[in-house]
Amino acid sequence: MKMASALVLQFLLLGFASAAGVLQNPDFETPPPGSPANSTAPFLLGENNTLPGWSFGGQVYYLTESGGGHAVQLGQDGRINQTFAASATDSADYLLTFAVASPGGANCLSNGSVVISAPDSQGVFPAGQRAVYGQFLGSWGDGEAIDLVIASETTESDANATCWPIVDSILLKSIASLVKANDNELVNGGFEFGPDFLADSAGGVLLQAAQSPVQSPLRQWSILGTVKYIDAKHFFVPQGNAAVEIVSGNSSGIQTAAQLTKDSSYTLEFMLGDGNDSCIGDFEVRAQAGSVLQNYTIQSKGTGSAQKFSFKFKADSDTGTTPISFVSYTSSQTKDGVFCGPVVDDVVVRTSLGLKLAIQWSLPSLLLLVAYVMNNERWI
Ligand X SMILES: *[C@@H]1O[C@H](CO)[C@@H](O)[C@H](O)[C@H]1NC(C)=O
Beta bridge partners of 150: 80, 116
Is the separation of the CB atoms in 296 and 287 below 8 Å? yes
Beta bridge partners of 256: 324
Residues 242-281 that bind ligand X (CB under 6 A): 250-251, 276
**Minimum CB–partner distance for residue 239 and ligand X (Å):** 13
Q: Which is nearer to ligand X, 264 or 303 (CB)?
A: 303
Q: Which is nearer to ligand X, 101 or 210 (CB)?
A: 101
- Determine which residue in the list 37, 359, 363, 374 makes contact with ligand X, applying CB under 6 A: 37
Q: Which helix (H) or strand (E) holds 360?
A: helix 353-379
Residues 286-315 that bind ligand X (CB under 6 A): 286, 293, 295, 303-304
Task: Quote the CA–CA distance of 147 and 119 in Å, as a whole number.
Answer: 7
Q: Which does 164 bind (CB under 5 to 8 A by kind): ligand X, Ca ion, none?
A: none
Q: Which residue from 270, 378, 287 is spatially nearest to 328, judged by alpha carbons?
A: 287
Residues of this chain that interact with Ca ion (CB under 5 A) are: 190-191, 239-240, 243, 345
- Determine which residue in the list 108, 115, 175, 338 makes contact with ligand X, applying CB under 6 A: 108
Q: Which does 37 bind (CB under 5 to 8 A by kind): Ca ion, ligand X, none?
A: ligand X
Q: Is 102 in the site for ligand X (CB under 6 A)?
A: yes
Q: Which does 345 bind (CB under 5 to 8 A by kind): ligand X, Ca ion, none?
A: Ca ion
340: phi then psi, degrees, rounded to nearest 5: -150, 175
- Determine which residue in the list 28, 43, 54, 197 makes contact with ligand X, applying CB under 6 A: 54
Residue nearest to Ca ion (CB): 240
Q: How many CA atoms lie within 13 A of 73 on its CB side?
A: 21
Q: Is 139 in the site for ligand X (CB under 6 A)?
A: no
Number of H helices, E strands in the chain: 2, 24
48: phi then psi, degrees, rounded to nearest 5: -100, 5
CA distances, 6 to each of 18, 20, 87, 89, 215 (Å): 18, 21, 19, 15, 36
Q: Which is nearer to ligand X, 178 or 209 (CB)?
A: 209
Is the separation of the CB atoms in 174 and 195 below 8 Å? no
Q: Which does 106 bind (CB under 5 to 8 A by kind): ligand X, Ca ion, none?
A: ligand X
Q: Which residues bind ligand X (CB under 6 A)?
A: 37-38, 46-48, 54-55, 81-83, 102, 104-108, 110-111, 128-129, 147, 160, 162-163, 236, 250-251, 276, 284, 286, 293, 295, 303-304, 329
